[in-house]
Amino acid sequence: MTFDVSNPGALGAPVSSSSASPGQDKRPVFQKTLKRSIGCTGVGLHSGQRVAMKLHPAAPDTGVVFKRVDLIGGGAIIKSRWPQVIDSRMCTVIADKNGISIATVEHLMSALYGLEIDNVIVELNGPEVPAMDGSAAPFTFLIECAGVLEQDSPRRAMRILKSVAHTNGNKMVALEPWNDGLRVDFHIDFRAAAIGRQTCSFTVSPAIYRDEISRARTFGLLSDVTALREAGLARGGSLNNAIVVDGDRILNDEGLRHDNEFVRHKALDAVGDLYLTGFPIIGRFIGRCSSHADTARLMRQVYADHSCWELVDMWQDATETAAWNPADMVAVVAPAAAPARRVAVSR
């Protein structure tokens, strides 16, 4: 299955009549990219490899495109779309037609969604996005340092028209209609006493994302570490890029950034996985003890039923100011708990 962003009807989904101009009191929402290139280095959570990453501005309608620059012949180009997903067991992995892959794209994709970046080229010299501190906060920091540029092409959204759900035992994921952007409701229930039952609900906006979602770190159980590494996973995992839980204990010296940090990270992952549609979503996502794999199965159902979604132009009040105010970009503070890292800005 292919999904051509330049052809909204490519999957047979209707294009809403709301694409027409709603009147003089409204103006279109435009796509955004970065003002300049910026880079960082880090370790892949699962591969354990040292990876350098650069984010570059991109033309309207490019979307989020990954490029492996460590390969002979100029590298592989991989679009961040659901048809390119080849694995979603422990993280989200995308690949081109030759099987060249990039793993753990969800945290970066989440930051790009949260800060409303539509078009960017992501260059990597390895097979995995660097884990940084295990959250999306370092990526939001990079985006804010690079600056955000409004482009001259209208932004479109995927609007959910009817409920779609996937159930797998005690796990459940669903998308349903919602009128106010993307709403994420998540619930988890772990036997480990340090995690237990947690719930969070957010309507995603740049401010809410940055303050309430982006800093939540990935997590794992100490009892699972040996099995994961024997399976070739979590080779780069450490207390510097993950919360490690042992029963009722948090092994990280700094403790938690939020009382419900675990479920907030699940919401962070869901936002990143949902951005593999290539569009912001107008709808409500519900996750109950679900995983990357459950979200992938849900999205296969969504794309199989063209009557449950449509693409619409996005509009805002003509008097409304842009979400990104250059004055707000002057004083950018790095996440307090993020480990030291090298940041390179190309001007």
Beta-carbon count within 10 A of 189 CB? 13
Tokens, residue 251: 């092994």
Q: Are 242 and 47 in contact (CB under 8 A)?
A: no
Q: Strands 26-28 and 30-34: what pairing?
A: unpaired
What is the four-CA torsion angle of 263, 142, 151, 66, rounded to 10 degrees?
-80
Hey, CA dihedral for 187, 278, 207, 284, is it positive or negative? negative
Among residues 135, 132, 125, 142, which one has the least CA distance to residue 51? 125
Q: Are 182 and 268 in contact (CB under 8 A)?
A: no
Q: At what angle do helices 261-274 and 106-114 cross, to 10 degrees?
A: 80
Up-side HSE of residue 332: CA atoms within 13 Å toward CB? Answer: 18
The C-alpha atoms of residue 31 and residue 251 are separated, in whole angstroms, by 42
| Catalytic site positions | 292
Place of tokens 């029963």: 247
Q: Are 139 and 210 in contact (CB under 8 A)?
A: no
